Structure 1
Amino acid sequence: MDITMNELGDKAAIRDVLSRYCRGLDRMDKDMARAVFAPQASANYYGIYTGTGHGFIDWVWEAHRGMETHSHQITNVLIELDGDSAVSEAYITVVLQQQRETGAVEIQVRSRYLDRWSKRAGCWLIVEREHVIDAQSEVPLQAIVKSAESRRDRDDASYRFFS
């Protein structure tokens, strides 16, 4: 399979957008998380949310506010390019920690993002997302512990490195 430098660059750009999406969610940087979706992008998080990508961000923001911590990791990103269009499948693991009246819990979700992309003005944007949950579990925790440097806002240590 021959691949051009432009194709390598496009694939790297799509992976970067996926990483910024996760960072936006975990740092509660709403502008960063919204920026990955085209304005009228569709989002189908089966059984959780159906609507626009921007609408999903608004919905998930309220859900994430109720969490003590959350961490989204993307792996195994498969991308197929077709000019200024692309499709991708990305495996995602999400770990959410929440304090409930009955005690602390950790929710782990193993799922996939199936995305259609469009390159607009040199930037790759998601125009359609389907979120497929492959497995989910919940376990009780003794306590939720995190470092002071780990923040869900622009005071997080990473903002000293990235603007």
Structure 2
Amino acid sequence: MAHINTVETMLARQDIHDVMMRYARGIDRGDETLLLSCYWDDAIEVHGPAYEGPAVPYLKGAAQRMKANGTTMQHFVGNMHIDFDGEDRAFVESYILTFARFPKDGEPWDTLTGARSFDRFERRGGEWRIAHRRAIFDWNRDQPSSEGWCMGLFDTSHKNMTMGRKAPDDLSYSRD
């Protein structure tokens, strides 16, 4: 079936893309407000065996965990397929590459996961947000951390080395 973009669908695609970018930033920075802005209050989250239920408590807990233990995490959103179902609903498949560092037996371990989110977006009052999300896990690689900062090229103690932090302490939240 051929898809013809109209100005309305192009704007909707951009709005949906913006939600996905806010989600990635929100989860990585532990920014609860930003995360909550991506989902409707009655949204459902199915995140594998880790969680199934209302999205709001899941998102609040995730933001708290990210801030509390200083977990290093980055989500990269890649290919997105947006299939509109009428004017106010879209099914969105997004490829997501996630890096995270977690402690295992007192040592840092790195985990790299290839996954996809399968989201039902709804437009309410002119705004697109996630109404239902299911995570799809495709592959994973876990290994002991071997961070060397480009074989020593970058000195993490240098005054000009800006390290990532959680909200609101991350440089991206300042306007300096």
TM-score past 0.5 threshold: yes
Q: CA deviation at 1:120?
A: 1.0
Q: How many positions carry a matched residue from both structures?
A: 161
Counterpart selection for 2:90 from 83, 86, 90: 86
Equivalent in the alignment of 2:109: 105
SS in 2 for 1:139: strand
- Shift in alpha-carbon separation, 1:105–1:141, aligned structure 2, 3 A: same
Question: Is the 2:102–2:109 contact (alpha carbons within 8 Å) kept by the matching residues of 1?
Answer: yes
Deviations 1:29-85 (A, max 9, x none): 101001111111111112110011112212323443335310011110100122011
Identity score, percent: 24
Which residue in 2 is equivalent to 1:96? 100
Q: CA shift at 1:108, angstroms?
A: 1.1
Query: Which runs of 5 or more residues in structure 2 are unaligned?
Result: 150-155
The root-mean-square deviation of aligned C-alpha atoms, in Å, is 1.9
- Which residue, out of 138, 148, 156, partners 1:134? 138
SS in 2 for 1:47: helix
Higher radius of gyration, 1 or 2:
2
Whole-Å Cα distance in 1 between the matches of residues 21 and 4 of structure 2?
26
Q: Report the CA distance between 1:103 and its aligned residue.
A: 1.6
Instruction: Give, as a single letter, the amino acid of the residue that structure 2 aligns with 1:53.
Output: A
- C-alpha separation between the residues in 1 aligned to 2:108 and 2:148? 7
For the residues of structure 2 that align with 1:63 and 1:106, how far apart are their CA atoms? 17
Q: Is contact 1:85-1:116 (8 Å) kept? A: yes
Q: Which SS does the other structure have where 1:15 is aligned?
A: helix
TM-score (norm 2): 0.83
Distance 1:149 1:59 in 2: 24
